[in-house]
Amino acid sequence: MNTTDEQHIRDLIAATTELWIAHDMPGWGRHFTEDADFVSHAGQWWTSRHDNVEGHLDIPDSVVPQKRNYVQRVESIAEVAAGVALVHTRWDWPDHRSPGSEAQDRAGIISYVVVRRDDRWRIRAAHNTRIS
């Protein structure tokens, strides 16, 4: 994988992180393929961009402002075939508070399969695993 592709993938992850924090889920979803799979940390499995976005819109209003505490960083990028890469990120979400619960420091790992389509890198699949 050349350094330009690697930088574009890093930019993709940075963009989706910023859109996640802003809770711009339609904007976030545009970085996924139409047939994207997403497995959430809670075990939901969405099999389209539409369902993925809709599923991520369904969070309590009290959680949205807490997203400003969320960070995600790329840990590794590996080319698995021409135009296909496996990306692992780590995320941290300190002081996350679900309704009726005490604040928790949450963390996890997301495995992404990203593909180059129409001269853009997009997320084809993601699996989010909570580790805290």
Written as tens digits, the pLDDT of the chain (132 aa) is 899 999 999 999 999 999 999 999 999 999 999 999 999 999 999 999 999 999 999 888 888 888 999 999 999 999 999 999 999 999 999 988 888 888 899 999 999 999 999 899 999 999 999 996
One-letter amino acid at 132 equals S
Residue spans of alpha helices (H) in the chain: 3-21, 25-29, 49-57
In the chain, the number of structural domains is 1
Encoded tokens for 10: 């890093």
Asked if residue 131 lies in contact with residue 110, where contact means CB atoms within 8 angstroms, the answer is no
The residue range of the domain holding 116 is: 3-130
Q: Which two tokens stand for residue 29?
A: 């979803």
In the block, tokens 């495995």 appear at 111
Residue 24: which of 64, 63, 61 has the closest Cα? 64
Task: Tell me the pTM.
Answer: 0.94
CATH number, position 21: 3.10.450.50
